[in-house]
Chains A and B, each alone.
Chain A
Amino acid sequence: MTQELRNEVEDLLNRYVQCIDDDELESWPEFFTDSCLYRIIPRENEEVGLPAAVMWGDSKGMLVDRVVALRNANVYQVQWYRHIISNPCIRSESDGAISVQSNYAVFKTCNNGESEVYNVGKYVDLIVRDSGVLKFKERSAIFDTHKITTLMVIPI
């Protein structure tokens, strides 16, 4: 993999978490291809091959619907995420599809001012070039923190 491509992958991963943490969620679905797979799934399911996820979308439209619901339907207290991500490990690159893994930690802060370690896990991604731009064909957030406090409304 060229350094240039690696930089481009890292830029995608960084822009993705900045988008969520800056509450620009309307732009979040644009990180995915039209047909995609986005999952937030507990490690305990993933490791034994059980498919149930807490969030699961197989189209950009479903991700848009998540954001519409979050803005207009769901009820939850004010909260902010702060993602910390690791440098990506490039697993493979073939036919323009890049397989990437990285670690993440999400801190959640609510109105009481406490920042809690909310969700920790790894991203497993399949990244492709779509109209010249790198996008997620697949993104799985496989989380260790199987005890989700209160609820999960914002994507990881």
Chain B
Amino acid sequence: MTSSNRMKWPENADHTAVPYYVFHDQDIYNREQDKIYNGPAWHFVALEAELLKLGSFKSTYIGDTPVVVTRGQDNEIYAWVNRCAHRGAEVCRHRHGVSEDGTFTCVYHQWTYDAKGDLRGVPFQRGLAGKGGYPKDFDKTQHGLRKVKVVSYCGAIFGTFSDATPDIETYMGEDVSLFFKRIMNRPVEVLGTTRQYIKGNWKFYAENSKDPYHASLLHLFHATFGLYRSSQEGATLINNDFHTVLWAKSGNEDEAALEDVRKDKLRTYQEGTYTLNDPSLLAGQQEFEDGISLVILTLFPSLVLQQIQNTLAVRQILPKGKDEFELVWTYFGYTDDSEELRNIRLKQFNLIGPAGLISMEDGESTELCHKAIVSDGDRTNVILMSGSDTQSEGHLVTESAVRGLWKGYRKMMEL
């Protein structure tokens, strides 16, 4: 099949059978940049807690497009494309920092912008000694940086390039916004960032973070040390097709379900085999009244917001071409954390991130899929756990949210 035919979903495929070429096709990738990353979607770009001071900034991306998020001297949040309006050079060359005077100057010809992205100064605008200079009708207001529309929601900043993007709560949906507010219920303090670079298409990670089925089967640390199993009480909530919440409660094991796990003789189920030498790793605090110990919230396409025990983090998914993506983990606690709780979080960060005892394998599974399907473009995968619906479900033994991802993806991509 040629690439041009791939702009139409094949007849043998639907949201339970996704053709593998969507992970490898350059035209598909280009279309994603257009329809998704420049389309009507909210993209996570920063936590407000990363931009505490006036003049502070953070460099990041929306899809392939470099953007800078700033806090202006007026205390408002702004974002703009990190590309000089003059000749296209990168303006801000730092990952993060504070611009004391609130300006950003391109090094190439020193065009200077403010935190809003408006052009404030151009060297030699009137020329030198009567020579050169810009035409008299040169209007600085027409040569600002390309602006990104931003919204701050519960301390998280989202950006969009499209005027058609609905308001953020409508975009999220009811369950997702409820759980978003549950975690982001008060001011947060950033505790650090780690970055994982994965050699696979970004959509494998989008699938992975909406897939509760794999959790107890791939991440054996859960089962080995009794943290979480699919037999625990939990739910899979789906809003607007591709935004999701997976939640689970530890300690509320369904005995009948556990019996089925035993009968399956999974290599993952090693009851009583291993105990932690230092149990303090898992000796956390119950900090939410609902008793929920695991929340994986995804806001398509770029954000995972998570609570795993006492760890809180956002994971930003940044595509780097069709074959690679970067996963940026930003860990946080609350500004009113006790020293004890803060130390629990620091210790439990061992569970998550690039070396996370229960998260590292997601990088591995992504790469396993990516490299195995190169020559299988028109063949499809199988996404049938718990049927073919894309509805919310009151359990975790389902791929309904993965199907929802593909349903929403097709709509947005017009495939």
Contacts and interface: CB of A to CB of B under 8 A. Distances in A.
A54 B355 contact: yes
A51 B276 CA distance: 24
Contacts, number: 129
Contact of B192 (A53, A59, A74, A76): A53
A54 B351 CA distance: 9
B363 A150 contact: yes
B199 interface: yes
B168 interface: no
A54 B354 contact: yes
A17 interface: no
Interface size class of chain B, counting residues whose CB lies under 8 Å from the partner chain = 35 or more
Residue of B198, B281, B360 with most chain A CB atoms under a 10 A cut-off: B360
A58 interface: yes
A148 B195 contact: yes
The 4 closest A-B pairs by CB, nearest first: A52-B192, A61-B278, A61-B277, A152-B355
B349 A53 contact: yes
Contact of B354 (A57, A72, A73, A151): A151
A154 to B, nearest CB: 9
Given A51-B192, A69-B221, A148-B197, A74 B346 contact: no
Interface in A106-156: 146-153
Contact of B353 (A44, A54, A77): A54
Interface residues of A, number: 36
A12 interface: no
Contact of A55 (B331, B355, B363): B355
- Name the prevailing secondary structure of the A interface residues: mixed
A52 B357 contact: no
Given A51-B191, A65-B277, A68-B274, 5 more contacts: A52-B194, A68-B277, A69-B221, A148-B197, A152-B355
B193 interface: yes
Contacts of B193: 42, 44-45, 50, 52
- Name the prevailing secondary structure of the B interface residues: mixed
B393 interface: no
Contacts of B326: 147
B353 to A, nearest CB: 5
A40 to B, nearest CB: 7
Contacts of A61: 276-278
A73 B357 contact: yes
B277 A62 contact: yes
Contacts of A148: 194-197, 354-355
A75 interface: yes
A42 B219 CA distance: 24
Interface string A46-89: 00001111111111011011101100111111000000000000
Interface string B180-204: 0000000000111111111100000
Contacts of A57: 278, 350
